[in-house]
Chains A and B, each alone.
Chain A
Amino acid sequence: MKIAFTSQGTTPDAPMDPRFGRTAFLLVYDEESGQYEHCDNRQVEGVAHGAAVQTARRLFEMGAQVLVTGNGPGGNAASVLQRSGVQTFIGAGGMTVERAYAAWKSGKLQRFE
């Protein structure tokens, strides 16, 4: 399973970014290999509209099946994520990526539907 996190940095000890569309980075943990890979999403800073759609495209390119984030995606992003089959979990905004992974693994995060 590949799990994507919205994060403020590129390492597992980085704080989560509570935003989806305008997250600074996407950090993807591959449970099989135990490796993290990241994608720099900061170019959405200059995007006036549709940032979440752009972020969703990067997420799909990274091949994650699960998304862990903070506040929960807005309208456009929510419909894209639902239709794409990516399972979204929210409420990890105040954690580090590692802690968010542990919280998700132990079923403590809320499913966003």
Chain B
Amino acid sequence: MRVAIASGKGGTGKTTVSVNLADLLARHRPVVLADLDVEEPNSGLFVQAETVHEEAVHRMVPSWVADQCTFCGVCQEVCQFNALIETGSEVMVFRELCHSCYACSELCPVEALPMTPMKIGDLSHRRSGSLDLVQGCLDIGQEQAVPLIAHTLDYLGARFSKDTLILCDAPPGTACSMIEAVKDADFVLLVTEPTPFGLHDLKLAVETVRGLGRPCAVVINRHGLGNADVEAYCRQEGIPVAARLPHSREAAQCYARGQLIHPHVPEVAAQLEAVAGFIQRIEQEGAA
């Protein structure tokens, strides 16, 4: 089963919940933690593990063959992303605008735009006991996270069976990269904080997740801060609140030191146990 841990607002505690929950669950069973926040993956900072596999990840972009080109203009007509332009003496390709759709390459009548691989990032797979950590890391300067997220998900699909529990630390926001990380998840945990900003972005995330037809629950982090509007919203919308992690100075101190929180702060551990129980119930419902 794949559980995506997402949020609308950044900095609500996706990684905190992901790494602590994965560590807690891995004490009793095999768990995979996948860091799909490829623009700033940081789950790995909290896990000491041995490398199992590493690979460079590429995507395909067209490269122009001057000798072949007849300047017919088809490529720039068919490109939906403005990634190609004829300047009169050459065809310029803007690789960062290209979405690897192959239209220019396939429709070029003289095969002057063969698709070639361009490196976009790296995938790493590490293991510590019964916890596997799979992480995508986008190269600096690359603008598109989606192809790397998709590749990381393909790797997970090929490497682990359907009944393995995979926790995916998703990118923040509700844009393409978050959607890629969430769209095929069996369940989505939305981490929020009980503040007006947290609620505003939670609503956007709920809309997005519902649009994708994914079931979801909310984890309130830093509970005790702000107000009760998030609780009221969840009640009104019929969204279960799986846990309420306390607003705790000790938790923040652990995180800042790069430590897992649950071994040091019992109130956090108790709430994460509640999330673990919640996930187990969903698994059982799914299997039944």
A contact residues vs B (CB 8 Å cutoff): 47, 49-51, 53-54, 56-57, 60, 76, 79-80, 83-85
**Residue with the greatest number of chain B CB neighbours at <10 A, chosen from A49, A51, A56, A83:** A49
When the two chains form their complex, are residues B82 and A53 in contact, meaning their CB atoms are under 8 A apart? yes
Main secondary structure of the interface of B (DSSP, over half): loop
On chain A, the residues within 8 Å of B97 by CB distance are: 49-50, 53, 76
When the two chains form their complex, are residues A80 and B85 in contact, meaning their CB atoms are under 8 A apart? yes
State in angstroms the CA–CA spacing of A57 and B75 once bound together: 13
When the two chains form their complex, are residues A50 and B82 in contact, meaning their CB atoms are under 8 A apart? yes
**Residue with the greatest number of chain A CB neighbours at <10 A, chosen from B81, B83, B87, B94:** B87
A50-B94, A53-B97, A57-B76 known; A84+B82 contact, CB < 8 A:
no
State in angstroms the CA–CA spacing of A54 and B85 once bound together: 8
Q: Mark B83-95, 1 if CB is under 8 A from A, else 0.
A: 1111111101010
**Residue with the greatest number of chain B CB neighbours at <10 A, chosen from A47, A50, A51, A76:** A50
Shortest Cβ gap from B92 to chain A (Å): 6
When the two chains form their complex, are residues B83 and A84 in contact, meaning their CB atoms are under 8 A apart? no
When the two chains form their complex, are residues B88 and A60 in contact, meaning their CB atoms are under 8 A apart? yes
A50-B97, A57-B76 known; A83+B82 contact, CB < 8 A:
no
State in angstroms the CA–CA spacing of A47 and B97 once bound together: 12
**Residue with the greatest number of chain A CB neighbours at <10 A, chosen from B85, B89, B90, B92:** B85
Other-chain residue from A47, A79, A85 in contact with B82 (beta carbon distance below 8 A): A47
When the two chains form their complex, are residues B87 and A60 in contact, meaning their CB atoms are under 8 A apart? yes
- For B, the interface residue count at a CB cutoff of 8 angstroms equals 14
Other-chain residue from A47, A53, A60, A84 in contact with B94 (beta carbon distance below 8 A): A53
When the two chains form their complex, are residues B81 and A84 in contact, meaning their CB atoms are under 8 A apart? no
When the two chains form their complex, are residues B87 and A80 in contact, meaning their CB atoms are under 8 A apart? yes
B contact residues vs A (CB 8 Å cutoff): 76, 81-90, 92, 94, 97
Shortest Cβ gap from B94 to chain A (Å): 6
State in angstroms the CA–CA spacing of A54 and B79 once bound together: 11
On chain B, the residues within 8 Å of A50 by CB distance are: 81-83, 94, 97
When the two chains form their complex, are residues B87 and A54 in contact, meaning their CB atoms are under 8 A apart? no
State in angstroms the CA–CA spacing of A70 and B97 once bound together: 24
On chain A, the residues within 8 Å of B86 by CB distance are: 57, 60
On chain B, the residues within 8 Å of A47 by CB distance are: 82
State in angstroms the CA–CA spacing of A99 and B87 once bound together: 29
State in angstroms the CA–CA spacing of A84 and B86 once bound together: 9
State in angstroms the CA–CA spacing of A57 and B83 once bound together: 12
When the two chains form their complex, are residues A54 and B82 in contact, meaning their CB atoms are under 8 A apart? yes
State in angstroms the CA–CA spacing of A49 and B280 once bound together: 43
**Residue with the greatest number of chain B CB neighbours at <10 A, chosen from A53, A54, A60, A84:** A53
State in angstroms the CA–CA spacing of A54 and B76 once bound together: 9
State in angstroms the CA–CA spacing of A84 and B84 once bound together: 13
State in angstroms the CA–CA spacing of A53 and B85 once bound together: 7
Apart from A53-B97, A76-B97, what are 15 other A-B pairs with CB-CB below 8 Å? A47-B82, A50-B81, A50-B94, A53-B82, A53-B83, A54-B82, A57-B86, A60-B88, A76-B94, A80-B87, A83-B87, A83-B90, A84-B88, A84-B89, A85-B88
Nearest chain-A residue to B94 (Cβ)?
A76
State in angstroms the CA–CA spacing of A36 and B237 once bound together: 59
Subset of 9 A-B contacts with CB under 8 Å: A49-B82, A53-B82, A53-B84, A53-B94, A57-B86, A83-B89, A83-B90, A84-B89, A85-B87
